[in-house]
Structure 1
Amino acid sequence: MPKPGTSRGDAPSGPEVLVPLDRSAATPLRAQLEEGLRDAVADGRLPAGGALPSSRAMARDLGVSRRLVVEAYAQLTAEGMLVARPGAGTRVADVQGPGARVASAPAAPDRSAVGGRHDRRYDLFPGHPDLGAFPRTAWLAALRDVLREVPDRRLGYPDPTGAPELRAALAGYLARARGVVATPERVVVVSGAAQGLALVARALARAGRPELVVEDPSLPAHRELLAHAGARLRPVAVDAEGVRVAELPPGGTCLLTPAHQMPTGVALSQERRTALARWARAGGLVIEDDYDAEFRYDRAPLAAVQRLAPDRTAYLGSASKSLSPGLRLGWLVLPDALLQAVRIEKAHDDMGTDVLSQLTLARMLERGTYDRHLRALRRRHRERRDAVVAALGRHLPGARPLGVAAGLHLTLELPHPVDPAALEAACADREVGVYGVRERAIVLGYASLTPSDLDEAVRRLTAALASPGVRR
């Protein structure tokens, strides 16, 4: 069977495609080629069903090795953007490519509970993952196997706590990759981290523990969700070592993002991790939101704090950043004190999460497909992290990016104070979406934009900062 990007005999033929390559740029040539082809599909220059040049022809036109082109075609084929068939060469997939922009049919603005307008061309919302990286081919292969093998009875109402296969696979994965102390019985599968957080908050409120400590600053959407679930929120400040554990109330409950604080990006220091475990064992309860801990670049992996006090920690994770928020797949690993109460809340909330998606994810975890996807995604996100940091150095050298060692966002410390509303409006005029704007800082998400788009977004942000009325 020919390799992706080849036709029978791989004759140097096929249409010409303009993909500029900058050999002086830090971005590798293969990454530039992949991004150029994605843009060509997104802009309609390569229409659905359209043929690409053979790998030999493309390599000759661009002056690069044929192997580089073959690898780029293979990557886009794995993403579902291209299809390769024996004797037919490589073509653009009939379905719209991942992450493509269709000018004639713009997507409706996101009006969800996260509270932002995500209809800007250069959207820097910190919660957006790279949807173009969804492993369509691997997901489809696992789903096909599930559909072929699943007994009819499994298509009825599911176990509200989750499919046994997924709970077992998650217990093994979390123990191995995050150091979580987990058994399948303690895992509850939820419809995204938002539902998991709401279930825990409601269970605590019914048990007479409505007060919940949250980090200051923290994600506004989480504060809104918790308040709606009946929680009374109490902020505790975050500094360069993470949340100030010494200020946590004895016997209280706290929601923390210790691996990569949202939004500052700091990691909870080892000293404070030890202090937090001591606080929890003395009667406190920790809700650990491990929302993007898989993505680390310049530091060693940090184990979940749950392993330090597993009987006093509710661990929360999801596939929203690693796969897609549209799947609505998340998980809780619960201590005995919360397990039954959250199970009841889950059963009453929705009677269970989509079973086919659960079984598909379980199959990917069992096969190691999910781990391979995460490794590739980590490289992709690191490239984008590097691109936005480089762009800030070029266009906005007076600003200081913080929290860049991990995650999908950074906090930009501004060189001078700004009027937040005026800056947001000036950015919107330039088709840039910015969020979490404070007088001296902005939270910038970078995972959903290409390196070239990140450079343009930072250039436009720089122009917005220079607009009349923005600077204080």
Structure 2
Amino acid sequence: MKYAMGSLRFSLDEDGAPYYQQLITQIQQGIVSGELSVGDKLPSTRFLAESLGVSRSTTSRAYDQLLAEGVLISKEKRGVFVSSLPMVGRRKSSLDGKRTSQFKSQRQQAKKLSFDAGVDVSVFPTKEWATSMRRSWLNPDLDLLQGGYPTGYPDLKEAIVDYLYRVRGLECTAEQIIVTAGNRDSLILLQHAITSLLESQPSETAKKRAVTWWLESPTYPPMREVLSQNNIHNIAIDEDGLVCQKMLLLMWA
């Protein structure tokens, strides 16, 4: 579809951008190239729509955006005209810069979603933590600084004992609690404890109880890393849980 208006020719591509955007681009290009001059009158939205074979809402939308941007001006009972070229250039550049700035701002302010399995860090009591840290450093425990509590800080262990009793109904003592630096350390400690327990058994029993580790498949990656030097077997999982046939066959082989 084409429409010639003086030296400006409109051409709409059915496979291109929306028609109103194509009209906006072509009018802007016509102004920049000099095909449209300051004060030139544009055809009415109705006439342009009929000439191009599109709906009037398409041409109205294009004009409305150009009017809002200052590219065109509307004069009552006279029609729509090309605005002054200096203003068009400044306006377009300003809009481009504004949009770029807004886009950068949106990227910087966009909320990043965390898919970690841990506790939501946004609920961490930062103020209370800072207050506690300041108070503790006024009179620090030298044994704590020098690694004097290999199984964990006594007050922390007592708090864990109280928590386990109140929340889990589990009775234990502080001596039974071991605080580690994380799950990897806990896995390594557990591995050595089980291996040492089995190796301490009589030779006949130890032979029957050769250390074999069974891991769900898929499993927690750090678990596999910790046990990578051991005899590891995978246990498949279906909708009913662990598939134990392979495990039973190997145990009785």
Which category of TM-score, normalised to the shorter sequence, fits these structures?
A: 0.3 to 0.5
Question: TM-score, normalising length from structure 1?
Answer: 0.20
Name the structure with the higher helix share. Answer: 2
Greater Cα radius of gyration, structure 1 or 2 = 2
Bigger RCO (CA 8 Å, 6+ sep)? 1
